[in-house]
Amino acid sequence: MKIIKQTVTIDGIDKIIIKNLLQDARTPIHSIAKATGISGAAVHQRLKKLEKADVISGSQIVLNPKVLGFKTVAFIGIYLDKAMRNPEAVKQLKNIPEVIECHYTTGNWSIFAKLLCRDNEHLMELLNKKIQSVEGVSRTETFISLQEQMNRQIAF
């Protein structure tokens, strides 16, 4: 692995390590060592270097929101009355557990957010009582996802 002007160049062994972990983050280091042909200690060192370079960060469990009762996925374009209100608005949105992503965007909206809701009624309640009451929010545009058709990590 080489770091050149904040860009990291990944070699073949790093790619094998990352691909194994993307398939299953709980893959034992000795299995990855077999796949790469290097020692477990060398795999461990490479993982530390990848973490230090911010190529990877930790591991996580992926919840299935539908099984937990969150059947509606919505994307909300949020218009702010002043762009300078963005940091405070995001701070307030972080206090709404159903808001799982916020993006500062170009274009019409100041903020583009992703929400997980139990149903459309829950979504309407969040919009009316929580999101539209955030100081600085002038209006919102809502898009409901009918079906997630793809969800993946970046290919390299």
- Quick one: pLDDT at residue 28? 96
Distance CA 13, CA 116 (A): 37
pLDDT exceeds cutoff 70 at 5: no
| pTM recorded for the entire structure | 0.82
Residue 17 reports pLDDT greater than 70: yes
pLDDT digits (tens, 9 = 90+) for 61-101: 889 999 999 999 999 999 999 989 999 999 999 999 999 99
pLDDT score recorded for residue 1:
61
pLDDT category, 7, cuts 50, 70, 90? Answer: confident
Domains of the chain: 2-52 (1.10.10.10), 72-145 (3.30.70.920)
With 70 as the cut, is the pLDDT of residue 18 above it?
yes
Q: How far apart are CA 1 and CA 10, in angstroms?
A: 5
* pLDDT number for residue 20: 93
pLDDT tens digits for range 32-51: 999 999 999 999 999 999 99
Question: Which of 114, 113, 122 has its CA nearest to residue 70?
Answer: 122
Q: Between vectors from CA 102 to CA 97 and to CA 105, what angle results, nearest 5°?
A: 165
